[in-house]
């Protein structure tokens, strides 16, 4: 165990002091290096495979019209997101996530995550924050020529910057694991053990997971043996006891997802874990349609452009009680997603990164790997607003849906999330397996979630 020092001083903060004292994790500060990147921020699971970054290495973020002229897509910055999701009135009330901690889990991490967050924040006039990095296990030295590592570095950058964009006052703890998460169980045991340890030691109010593996790829699945998945649930069971909110991206393969080879897709409807776990809130994707002020020019629609928001019935988990009110949609199985935020690449987020010395600058990224960290910021705001952890929010979400709370915004454009030739689910009135309960208006949703959650 060591505590690394950089020009920024001692890495460990009060939030992670327990980890250092226990000697079971390596804490290091994110170095303020000036390397350079070109992202392949993947959106979900295997970063080197599922990349959803369409624009690379731009010197500075461009307005929407220029993005349309150059690449035929819309591209949005955090100030526009803040208007779109009605966040600014909360900030004026002092609800910024202050006093709350967001935990982000990624394989390998990024050596430049602090520097990149500082640049990102300065560009848009946001206060930056310290990223506490927890190295779980013997994390290998970052190699910018390793596409797996650069893919995860892109994911790490996206996760950190999106969480900070929504909850600028929240602390961020980044957990870097030593084994790359892929299909099947590889990499997941390390991630779950890290999460369990942080939960047990009181580090983090909300955990966001921009990764997942198709349920069908887990050992024993074909024989109806789901023990390989259920043995990994201990972190989420601990989170339930400690009232920690756990989120996961619903995926970018619509109603299908990847096979064990990580390259080809199933030709049938499947689902992925941990998104499908009833103890996890599954975050799906939408497409925003904004002007330069961040105002909507038309309602949000289903994310279905360079990927498609994951969703459908779990083949492992039965319908949990909180979904009884939507059993006409999900049937007897756990259905995903639960709620959705921005994920479409046409309407993607500007992200700054500098981890690859062959390139540097701004990328436009999307996918449900964007949506989950965005929503983690919403949870941090609700924790602060309510003065307590909102914990597992799933029951509260479906209660708010039933009550037709104005903070829950329906997405019902009739588009489906078909992908790779597999028929998806349409966005219709009320709950659906394209966008869940829909999306949100933060000014109304945040206090409603805080009130509806037991904490």
Whether pLDDT at 419 is above 90 = yes
- The answer to whether the bond into 24 is cis (omega within 30° of 0) is no
Window from 3-17, 104-118, 280-294 with minimum mean pLDDT: 3-17
Torsion of CA 60, 66, 67, 68, to 10 degrees: 180
pLDDT at 104 over 60: yes
CA distance 81 to 157: 17
Rounded CA-CA distance 379/317 in Å is 25
Average pLDDT (153-157) is: 96
As a whole number, the mean pLDDT across the chain is 88
Q: What percent of the chain has pLDDT over 70?
A: 87
pLDDT band at 336 (very low <50, low <70, confident <90, very high): very high
pLDDT in tens, 360-394: 999 999 999 999 999 999 999 999 999 999 999 99
Burial class (CB in 10 A: 0-12, 13-18, 19+), 21: exposed
pLDDT digits over 189-202, tens only?
A: 999 999 999 999 99
Task: Give the Cα separation of 334 and 322 in Å (integer).
Answer: 10
If you average pLDDT over residues 314-342, what whole number do you get? 98
pLDDT band at 56 (very low <50, low <70, confident <90, very high): low
Confidence of residue 430 (pLDDT cuts 50, 70, 90): very high
Please, which pLDDT band fits residue 357 given cuts at 50, 70 and 90?
confident
266 or 32, higher pLDDT? 266
Query: How many Cβ atoms are within 10 Å of 187's Cβ, its own excluded?
Result: 20
Exposure class string for 373-397: b at 16+ Cβ within 10 A, else e: bbbbbbbbbbbbbbeebbbbbbbbb
Nearest to 35 by CA among 147, 96, 114: 114
Residue 157, classed as helix, strand or coil, is: helix
pLDDT confidence tier of residue 55, bands split at 50, 70 and 90: low
Find the range with the poorest average confidence among 7-11, 18-22, 101-105, 303-307.
7-11
Of 425, 423, 406, 422, the closest CA to residue 414 belongs to: 425
Task: Measure the CA–CA gap between 454 and 394, rounded to whole angstroms.
Answer: 11
- Res 43: pLDDT: 35
**The predicted structure's pLDDT at residue 133:** 98
**Among 28-37, 105-114, 132-141, whose mean pLDDT is lowest?**
28-37
pLDDT-based confidence at residue 52 (cuts at 50, 70, 90): low
Q: Which of 167, 205, 161, 162 is nearest to 91 (CA)?
A: 167
Token code pair at residue 277: 């776990």
Q: Where are the beta strands (DSSP E) in 321-401?
A: 333-336, 339-342, 348-353, 361-365
Give pLDDT, residue 396.
Answer: 98
Q: Give residue for tokens 């929240």.
A: 170
Rounded to an integer, what distance in angstroms lies between the CA atom of residue 258 and that of residue 375? 24
Query: Top-level CATH class of 5-452?
Result: alpha beta
Mean pLDDT of 431-452: 98
DSSP-assigned letter for residue 15: G
Alpha-carbon distance values, 245 to 182, 248, 309, 374 (Å): 24, 10, 21, 14
pLDDT tens-digit series, residues 277-303: 999 999 999 999 999 999 999 999 999
Domain residues of the chain, as ranges?
Answer: 5-452
Looking at the chain, the whole-number percentage of residues with pLDDT higher than 90 is 85
Task: Report the pLDDT value the prediction gives residue 359, as an integer from 0 to 100.
Answer: 80
Higher pLDDT, 6 or 201: 201
Q: Is 227 helix (H, G, I), strand (E, B) or coil?
A: helix
């Amino acid at each position: 165990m060591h505590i690394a020092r950089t020009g920024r001083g001692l890495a460990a903060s009060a939030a992670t002091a327990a980890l250092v004292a226990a000697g079971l994790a390596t804490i290091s500060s994110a170095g303020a290096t000036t390397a350079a990147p070109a992202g392949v921020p993947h959106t979900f699971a295997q970063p080197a495979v599922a990349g959803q970054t369409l624009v690379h290495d731009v010197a500075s973020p461009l307005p929407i019209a220029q993005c349309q002229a150059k690449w035929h897509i819309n591209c949005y910055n955090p100030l526009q997101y803040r208007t779109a999701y009605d966040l600014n009135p909360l900030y004026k009330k002092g609800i910024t996530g202050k006093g709350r901690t967001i935990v982000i889990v990624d394989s390998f991490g990024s050596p430049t995550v602090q520097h990149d967050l500082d640049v990102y924040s300065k560009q848009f006039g946001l206060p930056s924050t310290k990223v506490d990095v927890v190295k779980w296990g013997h994390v290998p030295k970052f190699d910018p020529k390793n596409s797996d590592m650069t893919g995860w570095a892109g994911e790490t950058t996206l996760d950190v910057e999106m969480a900070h964009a929504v909850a600028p006052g929240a602390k961020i703890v980044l957990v870097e694991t030593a084994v790359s998460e892929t299909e099947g169980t590889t990499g997941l045991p390390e991630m779950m053990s890290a999460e369990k340890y942080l939960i047990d030691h009181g580090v983090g109010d909300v955990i966001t997971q921009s990764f997942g593996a198709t349920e069908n790829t887990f050992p024993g699945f074909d024989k109806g043996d789901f023990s390989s998945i259920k043995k990994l649930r201990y972190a989420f069971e601990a989170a339930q006891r400690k009232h920690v909110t756990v989120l996961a991206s619903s995926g970018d393969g619509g109603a299908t997802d990847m096979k064990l080879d990580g390259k080809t897709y199933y030709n049938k409807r499947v689902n992925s874990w941990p998104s499908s776990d009833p103890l996890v809130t599954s975050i799906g994707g939408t497409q925003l349609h904004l002007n330069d002020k961040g105002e909507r020019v038309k309602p949000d629609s289903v994310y279905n452009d360079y990927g498609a928001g994951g969703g459908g019935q779990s083949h492992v988990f039965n319908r949990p009680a909180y979904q009884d009110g939507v059993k006409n949609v999900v049937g007897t199985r756990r259905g995903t997603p639960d709620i959705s935020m921005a994920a479409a690449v046409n309407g993607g987020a500007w992200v700054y990164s500098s981890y690859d010395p062959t390139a540097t600058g701004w990328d436009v990224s999307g996918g449900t790997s964007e949506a989950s960290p965005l929503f983690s910021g919403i949870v941090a705001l609700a924790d602060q607003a309510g003065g307590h952890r909102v914990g597992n929010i799933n029951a509260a979400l479906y209660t708010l849906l039933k009550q037709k709370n104005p903070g829950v915004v329906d997405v019902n454009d009739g588009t489906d999330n078909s992908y790779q030739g597999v028929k998806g689910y349409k966005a219709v009135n009320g709950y659906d397996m394209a966008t869940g309960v829909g999306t949100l208006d933060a000014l109304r949703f945040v206090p409603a979630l805080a009130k509806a959650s037991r904490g």
